[in-house]
Structure 1
């Protein structure tokens, strides 16, 4: 009895420490009436998890999808809102090189240096080169599966096939709808699971809807219990229904944009004549803190929706985030940087998501301290051909690899650009028609491609806009009704479209707002009850 109480207490603390109150779930699950009760667990990483299995008609020879709705307190905002995901499907995606496996730390750049991961597990090439036609792989953690890449599309394979130790043959990306290209590129970013077949030729086929405009995809139908030898058609199916979501949040990888614009509304199971047998209905609310989608209930009904099992209701915490530092983040971290705070740049130089420190030593040498996340920094000297002080350097990600780069003007419209490799700088000269100083130049991403651009006012409402292409600038003049200097202008994404906008105060609570459409600005006046001036902390520094 004591062990059961301890387990329940641990689960409650894990959930309440993140976002979900487990006690509410326990109170709303009527196990005596539920055919699909959920299950709590605390994972190895400390995440609180909850799983709702989706019950399906059995397939021939056990060939049916194993689907579930999965919650993790460590998961982000996805197809089922924050924390939730659809389990039972999978895919192969591009992943970065690592020091342990490759001897170098890299990013995902949609080139031949990318590596591949199966459901998050790194694939290790054992015969052939990564991404090559006919290359054989194994998983980093041995699963006794044989994985082979086939064909070629851009800088990568066309599709993959996996032979499991259970005798199943799984295909990834062998149909057009299961190959998901990166936005604006021919390269494939995800090879989704498209087909499973067993040794008796029993087959399962997954169909997807591709949202090419947003570089995203969603499963729409799974047909199973067909047989490729006998010619028997699918006896059962699962379909997925979606609704538009209000909390669209674009993300970028190597300059490629993607966005999830829908959320899963229901899952339906179908019989041999496409008759709907059961429907799992999902209801959402929005967080009052940040507006993200959150599942409020899941209910299993029959095909008519007239007879339903009791809902599983979810109650979320709504308290404001706490402020302050907690161990081990707080305390003294040792560096070899003795410079004043004002001369130190805060940035992420190696793309690991941690904030690093950098200050100039003079003569092109920079003292760089990379945060380890464990109360310490790893410090060393990086050389660049930028001898300016930190105050005269712009910091931005010019090539969209997730690592902060730096640049400084050298005159005549030329800029000295140093791209971070994660362990040093690779420097060259880029030309723009912008001859301004760093102090009068704002850093932005005006076209939403994940690469940093430059904006400089040239007078009478005109701004010189230089858009980074990853290796050079393309400059043009954009008109606004903002005639202020860069120092008096806030750069911020006001409408959540991933593009940087401009705003400057007019007085009496009015703000001049110019929204970027990627090719120019559209300006209007917005009112705020806060009549404050531009804050001292700049968004672009």
Structure 2
């Protein structure tokens, strides 16, 4: 085998390309490798097509991106390139004055091939009939939305017209097959002379599947050239939700047939490995009698989506530590792209009074951490903050000490406090007797005032890109003498006070009014809390887990935590590990909980509006 190959390593993923010398035909299938500034590998195979009128023909190709994971219009990691579309994107504080995820409402925004569409007239209805847009980055392209989506006004316009300075135009979603609930695909392109390229689709599970591209005539005349696409079921479908609507891409491209004036011009055959990865692509003649050497792709021996880890074994300068007597806070504290951590004791005389930063952790070496005696603290939280000049800084951490919040950063010469905020939280007062108690009126009730225990968590709750803090008062149960029984004796009683949650905006530009009482979340000492993005709007949400149920809260524009969803299920057990992550790649946070000891897990997938439960077996166990 004559082999010219390269290896791209990305997150333990290797990708090899080779040409097999099994064909006697002269020539090879064209292909181009590029590596982006972010480190992802791109490989593109252009599809050969017959010439069109005055050089007008589609530029169709197969394009691989190493960072796409399971996603792709052709296969996992692969797209059919040269086919543009208009898609939904979230509202942002910068562009729209508010943050709102894609959820089929008036705050959904649109993007042409990834470029946000901005209204030229800010008073026009976004998505309205006749509204004109321009791209966020200047392109001299005019985009106009028309009509009402067949699914309803909340779903936006029926179609879009895109006009270019040279007189050419494109229509998006201007046919039933080129429009879904989430996307408007190009219906046709036409130049100023009326030469047209037509695109035809099918719809499967709310996803658009390209079936053919036709060209070679003017206007609505029957095209003479055609590119046909064939598919098979996908091994691992691309599966996600928008506001509870399931969108699934469940087809893998298996063949491309190119026809010129009724005669076969080219054929491309794609074969797959057992896990649905493209194994090879073979370019053949129009009658399938001749072929170039296949382009072969090799991968690491693991399935798409399989979870792996790279262990680092090291020794720290602090000994006798384990998960029962110490805790860590992780972050990239020196901006080198590698994870660092702060270690602090949770038991003993130094519990939560000092910490050790460990930077530039290397496998096999002794990593030295110098102790930092901070004094007693409630919590350490990793944070993103502003410099005194208003610049977003590398990750630091915030030390919570009662009513004082101090943000620190690591420099080459040491640890330095950046800024500090202080807020005195209200106290809770209760009385020894109920007003309905039968104790004599001249006996004064005894007032008890306490500072409620709090749980501090961090996240970007308001979506400004900076770390905020939520101070959650835990539910507090207290005793008192209640109403009297039939014998005139006061009854011992207990009540539970539902604590408030306070939103602390850590933006250093706010010298006052940075703390808001933001509602009640009903968090008890036994509750488990996590921070993640439930609905994909870019803001951090709060998950509150109790035995058999979970509630999710999000901060609204009034700085109040409002309930997004609640879900009750016997599989939710706070005594077991709860693993939160975006497991299907749709930008929304899901979570998994083990069923019992073994390989079976319950997965709870976010739909943006609720949760869906599945039971799966994974190649790891407890």
Q: What's the TM-score, normalizing by structure 1?
A: 0.66
Q: Does 1:146 align with 2:145?
A: no
Secondary structure (helix, strand or coil) at the match of 2:299 reads: coil
Cα 1:386–1:491 shift into 2, 3 Å: farther
Q: CA deviation at 1:12?
A: 4.8
In structure 1, distance between residues paired with 2:611 and 2:101 = 27
Write the mapping of 1:106-505 to structure 2, written as runs, cut at 5 A: 106=99, 108-110=101-103, 111-128=105-122, 129=124, 130-152=126-148, 153-154=153-154, 156-181=156-181, 189-212=182-205, 215-228=206-219, 231-251=220-240, 258-271=247-260, 277-285=265-273, 293-302=276-285, 305-317=288-300, 322=310, 328-330=336-338, 343-346=379-382, 357-360=397-400, 362-363=402-403, 392-393=455-456, 406=470, 408=472, 411=475, 416=500, 437-441=524-528, 453-457=543-547, 463-466=548-551, 471-472=562-563, 477-479=568-570, 486=574, 488-492=575-579, 500-503=591-594, 505=596
The equivalent of 1:53 in structure 2 is 46
Number of equivalent positions? 479
1:46-103: per-residue Cα shift (whole Å, max 9, x none)? 654322111123333444321011233444432244543221011223345678x749
Cα 1:174–1:417 shift into 2, 3 Å: farther
Q: CA deviation at 1:197?
A: 1.4
Worse overlay, 127-136 or 102-111: 102-111
Maintained 8 Å contact 2:472/2:523: no
Maintained 8 Å contact 1:40/1:50: yes
Name stretches of at least 5 consecutive residues in structure 1 with no aligned partner: 1-8, 182-188, 458-462, 533-541
In structure 2, distance between residues paired with 1:377 and 1:144 = 48
Let me know the Cα RMSD of the aligned residues. 5.5
The equivalent of 1:3 in structure 2 is none
Cα 1:210–1:158 shift into 2, 3 Å: same
Q: Does 1:68 align with 2:61?
A: yes
Maintained 8 Å contact 1:444/1:500: no
Q: CA deviation at 1:311?
A: 0.5
Q: CA deviation at 1:419?
A: 7.7
In structure 1, distance between residues paired with 2:531 and 2:191 = 52
In structure 1, distance between residues paired with 2:239 and 2:504 = 24
In structure 1, distance between residues paired with 2:618 and 2:552 = 30
Maintained 8 Å contact 2:382/2:396: yes
In structure 1, distance between residues paired with 2:612 and 2:141 = 51
User: Which structure: greater helix fraction?
Assistant: 1
Maintained 8 Å contact 1:396/1:443: no
Cα 1:342–1:300 shift into 2, 3 Å: farther
Q: CA deviation at 1:164?
A: 1.9
Cα 1:316–1:327 shift into 2, 3 Å: farther
Secondary structure (helix, strand or coil) at the match of 2:237 reads: coil
In structure 1, distance between residues paired with 2:612 and 2:241 = 21
In structure 1, distance between residues paired with 2:36 and 2:601 = 46
Q: CA deviation at 1:527?
A: 11
In structure 2, distance between residues paired with 1:105 and 1:378 = 32
Cα 1:102–1:399 shift into 2, 3 Å: closer
Larger Cα Rg: Structure 1 or Structure 2?
2
1:129-157: per-residue Cα shift (whole Å, max 9, x none)? 55444343333443332222334532744
1:320-362: per-residue Cα shift (whole Å, max 9, x none)? 76556998224769xx996889822358999x9x977555454
Secondary structure (helix, strand or coil) at the match of 1:177 reads: helix
1:255-303: per-residue Cα shift (whole Å, max 9, x none)? 7764433322222224555x765331222336xxxx6x53221112345
Q: CA deviation at 1:170?
A: 0.7
In structure 2, distance between residues paired with 1:240 and 1:132 = 34
Maintained 8 Å contact 2:376/2:401: no
Name stretches of at least 5 consecutive residues in structure 2 with no aligned partner: 303-307, 313-331, 341-358, 361-371, 387-391, 427-450, 476-495, 557-561
Cα 1:511–1:261 shift into 2, 3 Å: closer
In structure 1, distance between residues paired with 2:46 and 2:57 = 13
1:212-271: per-residue Cα shift (whole Å, max 9, x none)? 4xx53221222323433xx52122222222222233354567777644333222222245
Cα 1:443–1:141 shift into 2, 3 Å: closer
The equivalent of 1:4 in structure 2 is none
Maintained 8 Å contact 1:50/1:70: yes
